[in-house]
Homo-oligomer: A and B are copies of this chain.
Amino acid sequence: MNILRQNASRSTRLFKHTKRATVRRSSAVVGQSCPPNRSAPPSFPCVDAHAAREARLQQGFQDAISATQPSSASSSSGPEPPYARPSPRSCKIYHHSEPLELVYSESLRSFDIAYETWGTLSAKKDNVILLHTGLSASSHAASTEANPSEGWWEKFIGPGKALDTNQFYIICTNVLGGCYGSTGPSSFRPTDSSPDGAPQVRERYGTGFPVLSIFDMVRAQFKLLDGLGIDEVYASVGSSMGAMQSLAAGWLFPERVGKVVSISGTARSSPSAIAMRFAQRSVLMADPNWNKGFYYDGLPPHTGMKLARQIATITYRSGPEWDLRFGRKLRPSGELPARNSPASGPRIPALCPDFLIETYLDHQGEQFCLKYDANSLIYISKAMDLFDMTLSSLESLNLTPRGPRSAPPPVPPSHAALPCPDHYRSQLSHSKSHPPPNNPPVHLPDLAEGLRPLSRTPVLILGVQSDILFPVEQQREVADALRITGNDMVSYFELGGVWGHDTFLLDVMNVGGAIRGFLS
């Protein structure tokens, strides 16, 4: 994946040499920059970008090594990887020193959960909203005094917003397995104090980290709530993977979760969603820098991460949006002969990004590739694949369903300010009633049995018709399954529009309005 790497064997080095000679001899018509002289060697800036990034990181890495050399006890504790150096570390860290039981393997000996809060906890502690993130988000859902930078749900959290800080105390965590302060594959393993007091060699988990379940993530969150002395949350709210956590929270703790909001999620990952995440993991794991997950004392698999993010971005948006936004437009370029100019002939297309949709995907990948830990991506996306709330699956994991909620639905906590206008509801112009399914999926009864612990919990299911990752069929399926359990407190909305899966980040009016209505 980078030109700094060379085959070790002598014979391969020879081939490389021969290849370079071939390159020099060839004429080029395919480079991203199209020189008038067509006998110049082909230029592939999009490929060179990987090598340039590698060289830049290598230099930074060596500088960091030199800087830390005198004080470093062990090279394996090396410099911090780039994603571990975000803007001001503004989150709080809850440390849990007892073991956390896990679904698939032995327990975690101890763990940290990073979290941030907005609003004021009421004296009765009855106004808590537990907000769950999608795959790669941090706990920084909205700006705070400690960290004024914009959060990933900035427009949804604040006074008078969908999650109204005049009314609610909102807690958002970085998910277990993540890399923004919570324990994950990039964390150091806990060490025993050595009997002779000698310094211990600290090592990161890497792929020695246990495979996680969405249920593990939620249990870790509730250890945090225990630590904060919070018995019950008014509502559990999440989108995408956060919606899975939200459903799992209501399922694991029916008495502790008053209401559940699930936006663009699912209760059972489909094979096509698994396929799309598998493709991302495959390109990532094929990057030699990944090194089977032990790259923390070297360079991260930035090329694999870029390629994985390009694929992910395709699943986050929708074709209709791209039609409107990019169409078939090409990137502008001053160097190129003007398109449509009969004198100079048609512009020669590049094999590197040339259409605007290609430069968009390239940019998304480039932006992301050093921001997030590769192993966190692998573990968390795998946890999403494994999520399945059918009874047969839950039983196979020894997850014993509890009885449904016995308490009545919670009463909204009082406002700190004036009540908010109700105009959101009337603006849900895209919502439509949900017809009974013509061809219910075969697993629907099994899913309904699995969801029975949620049969007395008010649940909001919201989906988007242009979502290709969590399609509306899956939203309908969750709503149907809940109704089969006898739950008559299921609110169901489908949104139109062209934003696909990412609608939950963008459509403040409709997504925010549905949440406000449901929480009030």
Contacts and interface: CB of A to CB of B under 8 A. Distances in A.
Given A271-B319, A279-B310, A358-B275, A6 B9 contact: no
A434 interface: no
A160 interface: no
A314 B272 contact: yes
Interface stretch (A39-47, A139-147, A232-240, A425-433): A39-47
B355 A271 contact: yes
A270 interface: yes
Interface in A167-226: 203-211
B346 A207 contact: no
A298 B42 contact: no
Given A29-B105, A269-B328, A278-B353, A5 B8 contact: yes
A217 to B, nearest CB: 15
A299 B15 CA distance: 9
B18 A297 contact: yes
Given A22-B203, A29-B211, A271-B355, A288 B349 contact: no
Nearest to A385: B355
A287 B395 contact: no
A272 B500 CA distance: 12
B386 A349 contact: yes
A2 B271 contact: no
Interface in A1-16: 1-9, 11-12, 14-16
Work out how many copies of this chain go into the complex. 2
A47 B353 contact: no
Nearest to A13: B8
A1 B303 CA distance: 11
A161 to B, nearest CB: 32
A353 B328 CA distance: 36
A477 B115 CA distance: 50
Counting chain B CB atoms within 10 Å of each CB, the highest count among A210, A326, A328, A388 belongs to A328
Interface stretch (A117-125, A337-345, A410-418): A337-345
Contacts of A106: 29, 38
B285 A58 contact: no
B292 A397 contact: no
Nearest to A307: B283
Given A12-B58, A342-B398, 14 more contacts: A15-B297, A15-B299, A21-B76, A30-B210, A30-B293, A42-B207, A47-B290, A103-B346, A211-B349, A271-B322, A271-B323, A274-B357, A346-B397, A355-B385
21 contacts: A1-B286, A1-B288, A5-B7, A5-B8, A5-B288, A9-B58, A11-B58, A12-B298, A22-B297, A23-B206, A26-B207, A38-B106, A42-B292, A207-B351, A270-B319, A271-B327, A272-B357, A279-B361, A340-B395, A351-B378, A351-B379
- The 4 tightest CB contacts between A and B, nearest first, are A272-B319, A26-B208, A271-B322, A15-B298
